[in-house]
Structure 1
Amino acid sequence: MCDTFIFRSENATDKRIWFGKNSDREPNEAHEVVFRKGQKYTAGTRVKCTYIEVPQVESTFDVILCKPAWMWGAEMGINAQGVVIGNEALFTKGKPLKEPALTGMDLLRLALERSCDAQSALQCIIQLLETYGQGGNCGYRHPFYYNNSFLIADRNETWILETVDRNWAAKRYAGSTSISNGLTLHNDWDKRSAGFSQIHDLAGQMSDPLVTTFSMAKIRRECTLDGISAMGKSEDIRAAFNLLRSHNGKDRRPSDSVMENTVCMHAGWGPIRIDQTTGSMVVDLSKEPSVIWITGTSAPCLSVFRPIIFSDFHEDTVISSEADWQRNEVFHRKALFCGDTILDTFSSERDQLELEFVKENEKGLRNQLQVTRRVEEFSSRWQEKMAAEKPVRGRFLLRVAWNVFNREAGFKIANKDSDL
């Protein structure tokens, strides 16, 4: 489960363009953020994606990718040309796509590496999809097969691309929009593949109604659409952070519900609520250079967004590693069961740190080494504070679920009733 949005101010004198996405994956699936330097390649070179190889192009662009640590592809990212893409799993009718092919995450990375604008990224994904197809297991510990949708944007335009097997439909958006885990196009596409020539209502005819309903994709998309509508009243990019932290307008703490899926996703008692937000990205495309805000950690409501730009990196770099993600998980999994008072204090201090980053960035005073150091110091201090906290009682189903996740991941975290 994931959610992706683009906000474009409708004020002619206001050029705010904000992209945001949460990557929702299995609770123990580590997330990493990487910079990959563009390169030139000789004719005949091939690139190994998650499952298959495809011919490499003559040259690639610099990219920053937020991705599951085990995959070649990425859930979201940006290239040095200012193209941003986020992908979503789609639950559609038809047989699972089990044959090895390009995953949706592979298609996203390939398009970022090869495309100078949103239009060319759209065409890149379409060409690769029609040539190689999409498929292969996209699950970490549990098999998971699905089709994909993409929100593709640059400073000038946005495209939503929705796919079923090798078929596709695309719509151009001039303003703000969002996608979740459900088909959104009906008969309002701008272009489509020949394979959809007999389709008159894409979402109506091709959606898997059961899985799409239980994913709460419609409710989560309504939440992000409401959020980007309200962004017109704010000039602070932290509004985009807060939208990714949303629990659909409800209390910020995850509940014991067996079905509650929210924009900021917290895994709980299965079999429906089984994912968590493992990483988040916000991109400010308003002006050059684009500023990328990342967490590199799970649960944006319990994370810090920190800024990076392309000029910070000159060679292949792991910006936020699997080990970084694992260290933060100890804090995150303790925080899920702590009282409101300490979480309120954390949120207040975290918001102040982010405000400092925003102000420094606006004044051109951002220093990447200092930003990294301050985030590390903040995180270390709060990991120590949370380690000393005892969990609160109650929330039985959530506690049972996370005890299982912790055991599977090898985390020794005291949050059982017997530990109180």
Structure 2
Amino acid sequence: MCDTLVLRQSGQTWFAKNSDREAAEPQRLLRLDEVRGDRSAELQATYLRIPQTADRYGLVLSQPSWIWGGEMGVNQHGVAIGNEAVFTRLTRKRGQALLGMDLLRLGLERGATAREALQVIVEHLERHGQGGPAGYRDKGFRYDNSFLIADAGEAWVLETAGQLWAAKRVERWAISNALTLGHEFDLCSADLPGQARKLGCWDGRGDFHFARAFDTRLLPWIGGAHRRRALNQDFLAACPAQPGWRELTAALRSHGARGDDLHGHDNRQVCLHAGAFWRPSQTTASLIARLQGAATQIAVTATSAPCLSLFQPLDLTPASGAGLLSVAGQSVEQSLWWRFEAAHRRALVDAEFRQALRASRDALEPQLLSGLDQSNPDWVALAASGSAWHAQWRAEAAECDVVLPRWWRRSARL
């Protein structure tokens, strides 16, 4: 489960995503350098070997620890992509192909604009297909994908079913874990209605509707996809003329009507907390980007649960990212994500600790994000402040033993 939104307003493009994965599934934040003249013939994605390209763009990627691709990212040209699991009538039940996260990384590595990245994704989708076990522990979990793809000049929603797809240029859009495109789209697979009819997904009556032809009902309903998307649509509709980091962070931290009852959540929250057989997913990383080409600015948590995390500033220059980014060859246990897990888990069950952590976070976060409004941010000082905050709350979390609910202990294999 995930939620992604894009907002183009007042000459700016804002992009934001919560990555929802299994409880206790590590996710690293990586900076991958630009590559020129690579002579490798192939690359190894999560499951498939596919042709490599000699030149690739540099990017920041939020990556589940066991996957080649990523949940969300931004490249050196200011292209941002986030993907969502969708459960369609054409989702492959067997075999292996490219995961949606692999397609996302390929789009970022090879697309200098949102439209180019979209084309990269659909070309690989049509050539190699999508599918394969997509869960960290649950290897029976499989899905197709939808994507939001944006740059400083435009944004696209791309939705898929098997190897079929449709795309629409948008200004304000939110996606969750259900298809959103209907009768109107700007680009699509060759003879999309005819292919849908041959596959038994459309009866040929009336205007062709992408979501009605391919979407399923049960899993989007269980996952609260339409309710979560509605929360972000409400945010987009009410967004001020000049939105900023404060508004975007609040949107990703939304618990809807449930408020701070973290154990009473029901999959209808943008900031998701796992805790039951029907609620196995949680937000494991969050990213916001103000897309401005090479001057793109980013705020990330690199830790679980945005409502319990600190958003820190980042850009695409080598000077930024200390304390946030995982280093090549570094073990998962050395990542910021893993090192903050003790604080995250204690906050789930200790209300007093949770309130103190948030109060401390709310005092520091505006100071850190204000660095993104400076022409020459002091990245060393910003990184030091963020690292000190994390160190403080890791130490606080270690002061007493945490007894997590039974589901967590059993299902997350703690």
Normalised by the length of structure 1, the TM-score is 0.88
Report deviation, 1:249: 4.3
Q: Is 2:358 the counterpart of 1:362?
A: no
Conserved 8 A contact 1:91-1:147: yes
Alignment partner, residue 134 of structure 1: 130
Aligned residues between the structures:
394
CA distance in 1, matches of 2:275, 2:191: 39
Alignment partner, residue 165 of structure 1: 162
CA distance in 2, matches of 1:51, 1:349: 42
Alignment partner, residue 358 of structure 2: 347
- How do 1:45-84 and structure 2 match up within 5 A? 45-84=41-80
Residues 1:234 and 1:335: Cα distance change in structure 2 (over 3 Å) = farther
Structure 1 counterpart of 2:233, from 217, 220, 225 = 225
| Unaligned residue ranges in structure 1 (runs of 5+) | 393-397, 410-420
DSSP 3-state at the match of 2:325: strand
- How do 1:237-256 and structure 2 match up within 5 A? 237-256=245-264
Alignment partner, residue 144 of structure 2: 147
Alignment partner, residue 328 of structure 1: 340
Q: Deviations over 1:114-143 (max 9, x none)?
A: 011011111111111111111111111111
CA distance in 2, matches of 1:378, 1:275: 26
Alignment partner, residue 308 of structure 2: 302
CA distance in 2, matches of 1:93, 1:75: 23
Alignment partner, residue 8 of structure 2: 8
Alignment partner, residue 199 of structure 2: none
DSSP 3-state at the match of 1:213: helix
Conserved 8 A contact 1:277-1:299: yes
Report deviation, 1:17: 2.1
Conserved 8 A contact 1:256-1:269: no
Q: Is 2:284 the counterpart of 1:278?
A: yes
Alignment partner, residue 418 of structure 1: none
For residue 172 of structure 1, what is the amino acid of its counterpart? R
Alignment partner, residue 119 of structure 1: 115
Q: Deviations over 1:45-64 (max 9, x none)?
A: 21111111111123111111
CA distance in 2, matches of 1:365, 1:65: 23
Structure 2 counterpart of 1:372, from 380, 383, 386 = 383
Report deviation, 1:284: 1.3
Normalised by the length of structure 2, the TM-score is 0.89
For residue 150 of structure 1, what is the amino acid of its counterpart? F
For residue 343 of structure 1, what is the amino acid of its counterpart? R
CA distance in 2, matches of 1:185, 1:236: 28
| Unaligned residue ranges in structure 2 (runs of 5+) | 195-201, 203-207
For residue 299 of structure 2, what is the amino acid of its counterpart? W
CA distance in 1, matches of 2:364, 2:320: 27
Q: Deviations over 1:9-57 (max 9, x none)?
A: 2xxxx33321100110011210000011111235562111111111112
For residue 392 of structure 2, what is the amino acid of its counterpart? R
Conserved 8 A contact 2:97-2:129: yes
CA distance in 1, matches of 2:93, 2:147: 18
Q: Deviations over 1:133-176 (max 9, x none)?
A: 11111111111111011100111111111111111111111x21
Residues 1:333 and 1:318: Cα distance change in structure 2 (over 3 Å) = closer
Alignment partner, residue 417 of structure 1: none
CA distance in 2, matches of 1:207, 1:363: 45
Residues 1:97 and 1:112: Cα distance change in structure 2 (over 3 Å) = farther
Report deviation, 1:213: 0.9
How much identity, in percent, do the aligned residues show?
Answer: 36
Residues 1:370 and 1:253: Cα distance change in structure 2 (over 3 Å) = farther
Conserved 8 A contact 1:18-1:237: no
Alignment partner, residue 383 of structure 1: 394
CA distance in 1, matches of 2:39, 2:183: 41
DSSP 3-state at the match of 2:258: coil
CA distance in 1, matches of 2:409, 2:114: 43
DSSP 3-state at the match of 1:283: strand
Q: Is 2:299 the counterpart of 1:290?
A: no
Residues 1:314 and 1:399: Cα distance change in structure 2 (over 3 Å) = closer
Structure 1 counterpart of 2:21, from 25, 34, 43 = 25
For residue 219 of structure 1, what is the amino acid of its counterpart? R
Conserved 8 A contact 1:265-1:276: yes
CA distance in 1, matches of 2:97, 2:209: 27
Residues 1:263 and 1:318: Cα distance change in structure 2 (over 3 Å) = closer
Q: Deviations over 1:358-414 (max 9, x none)?
A: 22331335222322221121112122333446879xxxxx822122245x13xxxxx
Conserved 8 A contact 1:63-1:113: yes
For residue 252 of structure 1, what is the amino acid of its counterpart? D
RMSD (CA atoms): 2.3
Structure 2 counterpart of 1:268, from 260, 271, 275 = 275
Residues 1:102 and 1:15: Cα distance change in structure 2 (over 3 Å) = same
Residues 1:50 and 1:122: Cα distance change in structure 2 (over 3 Å) = same
Moved more, 228-237 or 317-326: 317-326
